């Protein structure tokens, strides 16, 4: 990525939809979501070394960045709306431990997904987990579960819809981490 405009363009074409979608889901505003999309790809261009491929895919990392930046916006808007200034301008460790930010957010978010998976109907959970564990194709999942490919698609579609509802709090800045 570093210094290669074509690589940036490829990344944008592959993941702009994801980044925009997550941002819009949090912000419920297309214009703001486009702002965040631009921020995320600017960040990728300026600090590509922040992505650590040993920790996960570029897709997940950009998704986490989009989530964090969108939440930033929500909170900033909320504070402005309430006429509040920032309450705790204490020393930020972000400058020395920025990787920790990404990691904590990813860990926290993935924990919520794990909890939400546990609340799905068994047949939907089974289909989703088989599809994402090892990145199986629908055909492979259908074969392993001995059901049709169409049924697999249907179960996964329903599961994702249910997960979207279950994860609404995580994508609207309503949840609170334990450490306060």
Mask for 128-147, x = binds other proteins (CB under 8 A): xxx-xxx---------xx--
CB of 126 to other proteins, least distance (A): 5
Binding residue (CB under 8 A) for other proteins from 82, 83, 84, 118: 118
Q: How far is CA 79 from CA 20, 76, 85, 118, 138, in A?
A: 23, 5, 7, 34, 45
Binding residue (CB under 8 A) for other proteins from 14, 111, 121, 139: 111
CB of 139 to other proteins, least distance (A): 15
Residues 67-106 touching other proteins, rule: CB under 8 A, are: 68-69, 71-73, 75-77, 79-80, 86, 88-94, 96-97, 99-100, 103-106
The answer to whether the CB of 27 falls within 8 A of the CB of 74 is yes
């Amino acid at each position: 990525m570093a210094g290669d405009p074509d690589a940036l363009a490829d990344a944008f074409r592959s993941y702009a939809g994801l980044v925009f979608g997550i941002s819009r889901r949090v912000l419920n505003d297309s214009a703001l979501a486009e702002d965040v999309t631009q921020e995320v790809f600017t960040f990728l261009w300026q600090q590509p070394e922040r992505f650590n491929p040993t920790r996960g895919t570029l897709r997940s990392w950009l998704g986490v960045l989009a989530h964090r930046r969108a939440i930033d916006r929500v909170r900033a808007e909320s504070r402005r709306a309430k006429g509040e200034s920032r309450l705790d301008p204490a020393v930020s460790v972000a400058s020395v431990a920025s990787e920790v930010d990404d990691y904590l957010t990813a860990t926290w978010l993935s924990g919520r997904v794990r909890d939400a998976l546990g609340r799905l109907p068994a047949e939907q959970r089974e289909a989703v987990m088989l599809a994402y564990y090892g990145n199986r194709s629908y055909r492979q999942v259908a074969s392993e579960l001995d059901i049709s490919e169409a049924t697999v698609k249907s179960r996964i579609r329903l599961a994702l819809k249910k997960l979207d509802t279950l994860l609404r709090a995580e994508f609207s800045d309503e949840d609170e981490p334990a450490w306060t």
